[in-house]
Amino acid sequence: MKILFLSFFLGITSIYMAQVKKRDQGVYKGLIPSYAINTGQDLIQVDSCVVQIKLEKTRLLMRIDDKEYEGTYQVDKKTNRIYVIYAETAYSDIKEEIILFGKDKIMTRKGLFPQPDTSLKKLKKKEVLW
């Protein structure tokens, strides 16, 4: 009975303690495409900008053009090196959804409305200027 309870507890703990593997951590870079915001009266055009996301063991750094944000993240699902990550930063109360495809070394950042989704590629160590 004790073994059954212990194995159940360890199984539940491993699900909730999922982390991004070290080889999938690093700096990912992409381009947020230009988009328009409809204010009801005007249509405001927003230019495209570069976004970089640095995943570390316990924190996430996000750079959008020249603005830098730091926060934490939690892995919601993990299957075959595909991670669904929810990031919390100080600039927003809304958690950002990021899907990381570790095997392909790409990441998709779900844009907060009206911002479009962004695809990012992992940078090699010699390309990182962070």
Predicted confidence (pLDDT) per residue in 71-102, tens digit: 999 999 899 999 999 999 887 888 999 999 99
What radius of gyration do the chain's Cα atoms show? 18
- Count of domains for the chain: 1
Is residue 130 in a domain? Answer: no
The pair of structure tokens assigned to 112 is 């907060």
Predicted confidence (pLDDT) per residue in 31-80, tens digit: 999 999 999 999 999 999 999 999 999 999 999 999 999 999 999 989 99
Is residue 55 in a domain? Answer: yes
| pTM score of the predicted model | 0.81
Is residue 117 in a domain? Answer: yes
Is the Cβ–Cβ distance between 29 and 121 less than 8 Å?
Answer: yes
Is residue 9 in a domain? Answer: yes
Is residue 129 in a domain? Answer: no
Compute the residue count for the chain. 130
The pair of structure tokens assigned to 104 is 């392909």
Q: Which domain holds residue 98?
A: 2-124
Integer Cα distance of 92 and 67 in angstroms:
14
